[in-house]
Amino acid sequence: MLAELIGYLGDPDLGSGSRSRGEALLLDLLRPVTATALETPLPADPRARRVALELLDDPACALAVDAWGRRVGTSRRTLARLFLADTGMTFGRWRTLVRLQAALPALAAGEPLQRVSHSVGYETVSAFVAAFRRETGTTPGAYFGVGRQKAAVAAQARQGLVHR
User: Residues 152, 158: contact at Cβ < 8 Å?
Assistant: no
User: Given this model, what pLDDT does residue 7 score?
Assistant: 85
User: Given this model, what pLDDT does residue 25 score?
Assistant: 87
Cα–Cα distances in angstroms (integers) from residue 124 to residues 15, 65, 114, 130, 155, in the given order = 53, 21, 7, 10, 33
Report d(CA 23, CA 9) in Å as an integer.
7
Angle of the 46-57 helix axis to the 91-108 helix axis, nearest 10: 30
User: Given this model, what pLDDT does residue 33 score?
Assistant: 55
Q: Where are the beta strands (DSSP E) in the chain?
A: none
* Phi, psi of 17, rounded to the nearest 5 degrees: -65, -45
Give CATH superfamily name and number for 46-143.
Homeodomain-like (1.10.10.60)
pLDDT in tens, the chain (164 residues): 777 888 888 888 989 999 999 888 888 887 765 556 688 999 999 999 999 999 999 999 999 999 999 999 999 999 999 999 999 999 999 999 999 999 999 998 889 999 999 999 999 999 999 999 999 888 998 888 754 444 444 445 555 554 44
| Burial 148-164, CB ≥16 within 10 A → b, else e | eeeeeeeeeeeeeeeee
User: Given this model, what pLDDT does residue 162 score?
Assistant: 46
User: Given this model, what pLDDT does residue 93 score?
Assistant: 95
Name, in order, each residue with C-beta under 8 angstroms of 82's C-beta and a sequence gap of 6 or more: 43, 45, 47, 48, 74
Q: Where are the domains of the chain?
A: 46-143
User: Given this model, what pLDDT does residue 41 score?
Assistant: 94
